[in-house]
Amino acid sequence: MFLLSLDGPDFSGKTTLATAIVMRLREMGKSVERTEVPSGMITGIFTDLLRNSRDKVDARVFALTYAADHLHHYFNFIENQKTDFVLIERSLLSTFFYQGTVGNLDMNWVKEINKFTKTRPDLTVIVKTPLEELLKRKGIRIGMKDQLEKTEVLKKSVDFFYNVPKELADEFNVKYVDYAPINDIVDSILALAKERTNF
């Protein structure tokens, strides 16, 4: 099983891109499962409730709830996958950003509470969508926006994801792809995957 993660700032097109990649892989005859974190499982629902709560939620509560979701998702979805590919939108890399940089929590503690989650992508792709485009998409977003989608958080996420520290980049096998038409981005991502697996 090859685990491909799409990560990066909100509004960078991860969901649209994931759909295009899954379609392309299936056209090539590959078996593919698609997932995301926060997950759609019961633990993921709790993270959604916290993000949209009117309560003042301590950053440590966020971190522990996300850690539970990552671990539950790992045990119930990732650990026993037999498909050719699993495509995941976001991974622990996002948690390390949001809890460490936005939540201002000690990164060693964040890593400690997530130590049982073994999900590490074979390839993490971050598309460098320009900040101006992200802000434009944010402005036309329909529906409820949670507290992690504020403009100041978006700007911090661009700084982090487009310059992932080397230690984390190595741990999560991060590669960057330039912003381009979606078919070109898919081609670039599959080329990177082919460098790491035979398909």
* DSSP line for 53-88: -SS---HHHHHHHHHHHHHHHIIIIITT--SSEEEE
pLDDT tens digits along 184-195: 999 999 999 999
Q: What is the pLDDT of residues 52-90, one digit of tens each?
A: 889 999 999 999 999 999 999 999 999 999 999 999 999
Residues 102-139 have pLDDT tens digits of 899 999 999 999 999 999 999 999 999 999 999 999 88
In this prediction, residue 144 carries a pLDDT of 46
Q: CA–CA separation, 5 vs 35, rounded Å? A: 10
CATH 3.40.50.300 correct for 2-194: yes
pTM: 0.92
Helix (H) or strand (E) holding 75: none
pLDDT per position as a tens digit, 133-175 = 999 998 875 454 555 568 888 999 999 999 999 999 999 999 9
Largest CA distance in the chain: 49
Closest CA to 14 of 182, 150, 187, 146: 182
- The residues that bridge with 87 in the sheet, in sequence order, are 4, 34
User: Helices 14-27 & 182-194, crossing angle to 10 degrees?
Assistant: 60
Residues 88 and 6: beta-carbon distance below 8 Å: yes
User: What is the rounded average pLDDT for all residues in the chain?
Assistant: 93
